Amino acid sequence: MKSNALAVVLGILGVIFIICAVLYAIGGILPTFTSSGVAGPHYKHAILLAVLAVASFVAANFARPRVV
């Protein structure tokens, strides 16, 4: 499925994932979004969000219509 709108949405999603990954890596900012609720770095969450960001950017590039 090729669409500029879809590519933009996936790109924005990727940026959001990166911001969240950084916030979780720094810690103390998003403590309520973990099962422990403990403040501090949450590397598992940060790595997961970084992987999701990469996947979003890759998907955005796939969704972008090719110029022939």
Partner 1 sequence: MGLLQGASELFPVSSLGHAVLVPSLLRWSFKQSDPSFVPFLVLLHLGTATALLILFRDQWVSIIRGFFTAAFAGQMKTEPERLAMLLLTGTIPAAILGVLLESRIKSLFASPYEAAGFLIVNGLLMLGFEVLRRRAERSAGVESSSDSEREAHFASADRISFRAAAIVGACQALAFLPGISRSGVTIGGGLLAGLRHQEAARFSFLLATPTIFGAGIVEVPQLFSKDIPLGEYAVSAVLAGIAAYASARFLLRYFRSGRLDPYGWYCIAAGLVSLALLHFAI
Query: Tokens 């110029």 identify what position?
Result: 67
Task: Identify which of residues 16 and 55 has a Cβ nearer to partner 1 in the complex.
Answer: 55
Task: Identify which of residues 12 and 43 has a Cβ nearer to partner 1 in the complex.
Answer: 43
If one asks whether residue 45 binds partner 1 (CB under 8 A), the answer comes out as yes
Burial of 17: CB neighbours in 10 Å, binned 0-12, 13-18, 19+: buried
- Contact pattern from residue 2 through residue 41 relative to partner 1, giving x for each residue in contact according to CB under 8 A and a dash for the rest: ---------------------------------x------
Element counts in the chain: helices (H) and strands (E): 2, 0
Do 47 and 22 contact (CB within 8 A), yes or no?
A: no
Task: Identify which of residues 9 and 64 has a Cβ nearer to partner 1 in the complex.
Answer: 64
Residue 15 Cβ vs partner 1, minimum distance, rounded to whole Å: 17
